[in-house]
Structure 1
Amino acid sequence: MSFTLAIVGRPNVGKSTLFNRLVGKKLALVDDQPGVTRDLREGQGRIADLRFTVIDSAGLEDATDDSLQGRMRRLTERAVEMADVCLFMIDARAGLLPADEVFADILRKKNANVILAANKAEGKAADSTILEAFALGLGEPIRLSAEHGEGLGELMDRLRPLSEAFAAREEANAPETDVDVGDDDEDAPRIPTKAKPLQIAVVGRPNAGKSTLINKIIGEERLLTGPEAGITRDAISVSQEWDGVPMRIFDTAGMRKKAKVQEKLEKLSVSDGLRAVKFAEVVVVLLDVEIPFEQQDLRIADLAEREGRAVVVAVNKWDVETEKQSKLKDLRQSFERLLPQLKGAPLVTVSAKTGKGLDRLHQAIMRAHDVWNRRVSTAHLNRWLTGMLEQHPPPAPGGRRIKMRYATQVKTRPPAFVVMTSFPDMVPESYKRYLVNGLREDFDMPGTPIRLYLRDQGDKNPYKDKKSAQPSRLSKHLKKNRGE
């Protein structure tokens, strides 16, 4: 049984640093300025043999209105209510502040298991803060240094009894189930499971509606949204079973033009989003219907294709469009003209606000994932290659005839093919595109990136590259007998 630990506290007390320490990776963005974290980020934490789910939250602000800080506070309070254990962090260097007393009172009401920790407690300078912290009524504080990993042993001692209690309760309430053992086929297409869900990254420019779309998919206000552009900073992942398919959906920060990205924090946010694209299986490029296919949209879609991801293009805010038929026709024409490398990729219209079109988006994602995993037999490929060569033979640059002998698929995800040929360096790019387009059309692989490699089969003659062969002993003997 894995319990859930939520890390809460004022801004800049070191919550994200401790989160990264517990999960063993630099997942959460960390910076000196306060208020970097805005969404809830989950990860699998570990201290020695103790395992649990840890949640990094936004800093608690003294705001209850509909401002950005107020929405961040409500999201953090929701995490406190959901978590099994709450770790309340204060800054031992700054001392105990009035806001800490207010938030401690809130935590006592919302969660029965609250552990107090004083971070940045290296040295004797924090002794006075430790004594003041007893006044919060949350028991003895743990002296922590998230940056240096000090105090984790004491934290483990506090968490272990709670973990054992949660495990006993879960075991008592667990129903009896039969275990189903199945045979895995490595060559079969990967079927998403709860252990290995389908990885989806939602990318796009700022304020395209990425967080709103994911909230609508999962059916709850899990991610922070609002009219302000650039709210999302971290690449936040949420796990959800969508129409019976286990998925892990990454919400990424809006990506602006590189020349406009000046602040260090925004650079970190964009790099975090790029990392999510590299690890995703399907990338949903979300466009704004009012300004679709801007230069940055094209760059983002091209990035996903170059990374070899399956791509789905979704046009958001479709509910505000009045001329839907003509607009859809224009979108499809622009898509084919501006993104020829993704020819045939799904283009769907959605409304993240109303939820209309989510069924079509789900079907497009599953279709793209299926094509991305497609495998073609070598026999079918070579029959196809024979037909392609008969229909349009390769050119003969410099009078040299190019012979293409056979083709085979070497991998999936994305589909990659090798064609054995003579003079591979002399095959023009236009003929490679002819073969790739043929693969895409004849084997029903629209939109997915296709990798085609041309390799020289080589000559089996070992004396081909030798200017003169050394005479054998037999030839020397014959020459000697002839008196040569």
Structure 2
Amino acid sequence: MPFTIAIIGRPNVGKSTLFNRLVGQKLALVDDEPGVTRDRREGEGRLGDLEFTVIDTAGLDEGARGSLTERMQEQTEAAIGLADALMFVIDARAGLTPNDRAFADFARRANKPVVLVANKAEGKHGEIGAMESYALGLGEPIQISAEHGEGLSDLYDALRALMPEPVGEPGRTDDDDFAGTDEELAKRPIRVAIVGRPNAGKSTLINHLLGEERLLTSAEAGTTRDSISVEITWQGREFRVFDTAGLRRRSRIEEKLEKLSVADALRAVRFAEVVVLVMDSQSKFEEQDLRIADLIEREGRAIVVAANKWDLMGRQSGLVSALRTELDHLLPQVKGAPVVAVSGLMGQGVDRLMSAIEQAYAVWNKRAPTASLNRWFEQAVDANPPPAVSGRRLKLNYITQVKARPPSFVVFCSRADAVPQSYLRYLVNSMREYFELPGTPVRISLREKVNPFAHKRRRPS
């Protein structure tokens, strides 16, 4: 197991900035508003030759019983329980506060090694605040600036003293997950982003998959702010699932923090391999649902539609079939995408959803055999030849698959700019049916065949 470090402290001391610095990416949202982080977030941190798991947590704060703040505190306590060591962060420019002193006692009671980090320590005021932190009784403060990358060598020394030896595989990044043979890809977790409008039940659904209250849920829309990844195993297959903030229409987004949350959700879509669009079954296929589905298709990701809160729909027959028909009508570009009725609260349909994700991933990775591809192409062109443009016939020579993820093809032809989009849609629909590619984006681009005699001059008559 990798060495695990939890970053704790009161709100707005720079915990998420330090987390982003250690993982080398802007994974956690950062804003001047206190309490941006709500769920705990894990990442693979690296400092010099040290590699470890680092957990970003919600700011330690007191809340009323049953409130969202209290449940945020419970998430932080769970992170502390998982950690081998703690980084207790204070704001050196603000100096010590009563909350810092109270939560320092909380950190001591955890009975785990604590590294005291005085963040925002650049400048004279920061140095004074760092000196005050000796009063916490947590040892010598490590003065750093997470935003500017100052003082990390001292932090390295403090962490190195806690770790017996460097942990992990040096030089590995998340981008490496997209490289490798088909056999290696089959062993790697499938990246799944759960997206949808606010309050569609995304976090509740993931909590049921995990079998624990890992993500905060609330009747209030917008509880989830940044994208949180969790590991799930289903029937021996590994999944990395990303919970995201609800996506509203751009015109309704006013606060800066919500803009950051939406941008983080869009990054999760681009990072994923399969995207599950969660809809409220009582208000399905609203304009925003269609916009999100169109975005997923344009990003080239496999899509699965989950009609959530199905337990509220009663026992009416034929509703799921009607949903599939409506989806094909409204979104022909993802025709045949799987539609699954689920209830994240009651656990209904969860097995069918995971099976649909696995099948959508397999289709997204599909390659058409060359012989079958040529046979289909000849039949499709013979059955419906391309229209003549300005009295000149368009000649489509041959087709080849250039890649999968999603399935992408190139058609070599005589005049690429003259082939109408309607004819390309015909080819896509025909291919989708012939090769059984339901729901996944299919890309067909055109390329003019090189004339081997174009460089030779014509002889004078």
Kept in 2, the 8 Å contact 1:378–1:407? The answer is no
Q: Counterpart in 2 of 1:46? A: 46
- 1:350 has 2:342 as partner: yes
| 1:243-262 alignment runs, 5 A limit | 243-262=235-254
Residues 43 and 188 of structure 1: is their aligned pair in 2 closer, same or farther, counting only changes over 3 Å? closer
- 1:74 has 2:74 as partner: yes
Q: Counterpart in 1 of 2:323? A: 331
Q: Counterpart in 2 of 1:291? A: 283
Kept in 1, the 8 Å contact 2:51–2:166? The answer is no
Residues 151 and 187 of structure 1: is their aligned pair in 2 closer, same or farther, counting only changes over 3 Å? closer
List 4+ stretches of structure 1 deviating above 6 A: none
**1:386 corresponds to which of 378, 384, 404:** 378
Q: What are structure 1's unaligned runs of at least 5 residues? A: 171-184, 472-484
Kept in 2, the 8 Å contact 1:309–1:448? The answer is yes
Q: Describe the SS at the equivalent of 1:405.
A: strand
Q: Counterpart in 1 of 2:148? A: 148
- 1:231 has 2:223 as partner: yes
- The Cα offsets for residues 233-289 of structure 1, whole Å up to 9 and x where unpaired, read as 111111222221111111111110010111111111111111111111000000001
Residues 147 and 188 of structure 1: is their aligned pair in 2 closer, same or farther, counting only changes over 3 Å? closer
Whole-angstrom CA distance in 2 between matches of 1:329 and 1:386:
34
Residue 361 of structure 2 aligns with an amino acid whose one-letter code is H
Residues 165 and 383 of structure 1: is their aligned pair in 2 closer, same or farther, counting only changes over 3 Å? closer
Residue 296 of structure 2 aligns with an amino acid whose one-letter code is A
Whole-angstrom CA distance in 2 between matches of 1:393 and 1:148:
62
Whole-angstrom CA distance in 1 between matches of 2:50 and 2:166:
13
Q: Describe the SS at the equivalent of 1:397.
A: coil
Whole-angstrom CA distance in 1 between matches of 2:64 and 2:107:
16
- 1:373 has 2:369 as partner: no
Shift of 1:333: 2.6
Q: Describe the SS at the equivalent of 2:221.
A: coil
Q: Which moves more between the two structures, 39-48 or 280-289?
A: 39-48
Residue 62 of structure 2 aligns with an amino acid whose one-letter code is D
What TM-score comes out, normalization by structure 2 length?
0.93
Shift of 1:431: 1.8
- The Cα offsets for residues 42-71 of structure 1, whole Å up to 9 and x where unpaired, read as 111111111111111111111251111111
| 1:167-246 alignment runs, 5 A limit | 188=182, 191-193=185-187, 196-246=188-238
Whole-angstrom CA distance in 2 between matches of 1:128 and 1:186:
51
Q: What are structure 2's unaligned runs of at least 5 residues? A: 169-178
- The Cα offsets for residues 152-199 of structure 1, whole Å up to 9 and x where unpaired, read as 2222222113210897xx9xxxxxxxxxxxxxx967476443xx4211
- 1:452 has 2:444 as partner: yes
**1:311 corresponds to which of 298, 303, 316:** 303
- 1:129 has 2:129 as partner: yes
Shift of 1:131: 4.2
Q: Describe the SS at the equivalent of 2:282.
A: coil
- 1:95 has 2:95 as partner: yes
Residue 54 of structure 1 aligns with an amino acid whose one-letter code is V
Residue 27 of structure 2 aligns with an amino acid whose one-letter code is L
Whole-angstrom CA distance in 2 between matches of 1:142 and 1:284:
43
Q: Describe the SS at the equivalent of 2:317.
A: helix
Q: Which moves more between the two structures, 413-422 or 140-149?
A: 140-149
Q: Describe the SS at the equivalent of 1:417.
A: strand
Residues 262 and 398 of structure 1: is their aligned pair in 2 closer, same or farther, counting only changes over 3 Å? same
Larger Rg: 1
Whole-angstrom CA distance in 2 between matches of 1:126 and 1:434:
65
Whole-angstrom CA distance in 2 between matches of 1:66 and 1:52:
33
Residue 192 of structure 2 aligns with an amino acid whose one-letter code is I
- Same amino acid, percent of matched pairs: 57
Residue 61 of structure 2 aligns with an amino acid whose one-letter code is E
Residue 141 of structure 1 aligns with an amino acid whose one-letter code is P
Residue 281 of structure 1 aligns with an amino acid whose one-letter code is E
Whole-angstrom CA distance in 2 between matches of 1:45 and 1:470:
72
Whole-angstrom CA distance in 2 between matches of 1:230 and 1:338:
27
Q: Counterpart in 1 of 2:116? A: 116
Shift of 1:11: 0.5
What's the Cα RMSD here? 2.2
Residues 200 and 43 of structure 1: is their aligned pair in 2 closer, same or farther, counting only changes over 3 Å? same
Residue 277 of structure 1 aligns with an amino acid whose one-letter code is V
In the alignment of these two chains, the number of paired residues is 451
Kept in 2, the 8 Å contact 1:81–1:111? The answer is no
What TM-score comes out, normalization by structure 1 length?
0.88
Whole-angstrom CA distance in 2 between matches of 1:89 and 1:450:
49
Shift of 1:330: 3.3
Kept in 1, the 8 Å contact 2:49–2:166? The answer is no
